Structure 1
Amino acid sequence: MPAKSKSLATPKQASSDKHLYKLHGLLLPQAQHKEIRRFKRLYDEPSLHGTKVWRSSAVLMDYLLQNPIKKGAKVVEIGCGWGGLSCFMAQQFNARVTALDADAALAPYVEFVKQLNDVKRVTFQAKRFEKITKKDLQGVHTLIGSEICFWDEMTAPLFNLIKRARAAGVKRVLIADPGRTPFLKLVDLCDEKFECDMFGHSIKKPWKTEKFILKLDN
């Protein structure tokens, strides 16, 4: 069981911290931030690479700014990590976001990022790909994820989740990745079964980087 936490820092207190950076108007903590270090002392450490906001999330944010979803839509982020992408969706598009991750230890990290940005419309749940049901996906407009297909054993469960999402009526799936082999296998599976696109998208700030985005419209 995780240790009991003290109250989180308020946005006003945290915004002056040198271990914060801004990404598309979103305040995000670095790993050296005092609250992040405190969480690591108080809680079980995240075990599935939920250790920072990954650059693929920044690329997907930039893509979404250029290709926005409708305001107020219902969104599910899978493999949400610290919840940066979820908070971005809520902040930019007034989306109602369910942030899902297999690692329950990420709950305080997501809550902290929410508080930093005064975001209310994000709800965290600990749930693995294979446990996400068609019922969970009812009414969802967009399913998103970044750097969530990094092991070979993730490809099949993620492909099956995409099939359930389409059957549930999810309008769009967007997954960003550096181009790892398991992700490319997922793209091949989707290309065989559905119409899909994979394309590169680059940003110059806060880092110069290019990632790949898998896009499926239903």
Structure 2
Amino acid sequence: MANEDYYHVNDLIILKKKHSLIKHITEQLPTPEIHGTKVWGSSFMIMDYLKKHTPDAGSEILEIGCGWGLLSIFCAKHFDALVTATDADPHVFSFLDAHSIINEVEIDQLVARYEELKIKDLKGYELVLGGDICFWDELVDPLFSLVQKAVKAKVGKIIIADPGRPPFLELAKRCEEAFGGELLDWSITKPRKVDGNLLVVES
């Protein structure tokens, strides 16, 4: 792989869109339909948080709205975590598979919408994570319901990151009032400068 085709962040190899493998997936397979066509920045804010608040080795972690799954791969690689990546769009998983192979980790996969995940599906997870997943007003209710179910399932911590879009801030406000969630200002400089917020809910 030529350097201009990929980059390293947090010890992960991340392929650029012009890499031959990504171009092959893009040209030969169905296109993701729910904004799953690239790596979004908020996942890197969660990675930065987890480097400072390290999960126990072997933790069970669920990433919701995983897209290309770099956050899942980071958790599997750095914390030896047992990770399940879920997304409503089945077409994102080819990109996740490519990055899993290159980064030498295995990630379980599940196609599901937020509202399809039940309390029993969330039991046993220490962390539920999601970056850039609350970008439409109509996502606030199903994500609030998902956080509520995760709290009832006694998930240790739920972390959702966003640059600060109004739907996310509405979700954060509701979670602060209902579950004592905390809205943290967060900023990173790699792989690029991203300013935003982390919603952290502990159950």
* Counterpart for residue 145 of structure 1: 130
* Correspondent of 1:162 among 135, 138, 147: 147
Q: State the identity %.
A: 38
Separation (CA, whole Å) in 2 of partners of 1:205 and 1:85:
14
Residues 163 and 194 in structure 2, CA contact (< 8 A), matched pair in contact too = no
Q: Distance in 2 between matches of 1:148 and 1:193?
A: 20
Note the 1:127-142 alignment, pairs <5 A. 127-142=112-127
CA contact (8 A) 1:80 1:145 kept: yes
Give the paired residue count. 203
Aligned: 1:114 with 2:100: yes
Q: Which runs of 4+ in 1 moved over 2 A?
A: none
Check if 1:39 corresponds to 2:30: no
Residues 73-120 of structure 1: per-residue CA shift (max 9 Å, x gap):
000000000010000000011110000000001121110010010002
TM-score with structure 2 setting the length: 0.97
- Residue 195 (1) aligns with residue 180 (2): yes
Q: Distance in 2 between matches of 1:20 and 1:125?
A: 27
Structure 1 gaps, min length 5 = 1-13
Distance (Å, rounded) in 2 between the aligned partners of 1:119 and 1:88? 9
Structure 1 length normalisation: TM-score? 0.90
> Aligned partners of 1:100 and 1:206: how far apart in 2?
24
In the alignment, structure 1 residue 48 sits paired with structure 2 residue 34: yes
CA RMSD, 1 decimal: 1.1
Q: CA deviation at 1:209?
A: 2.2
1:53 match: secondary structure: coil
TM-aligned CA deviation for residue 189 of structure 1: 1.0
**Contact 1:179–1:212 at 8 Å: present in 2 too?**
yes
Where is the helix percentage greater, Structure 1 or Structure 2? Answer: 2
SS state at 2:61 partner? strand
Unaligned runs of 5+ in 2: none
Secondary structure of the residue aligned to 1:18 is: helix
CA offsets per residue over residues 40-65 of structure 1, 9 Å max, x none?
A: 22211001111111111111111110
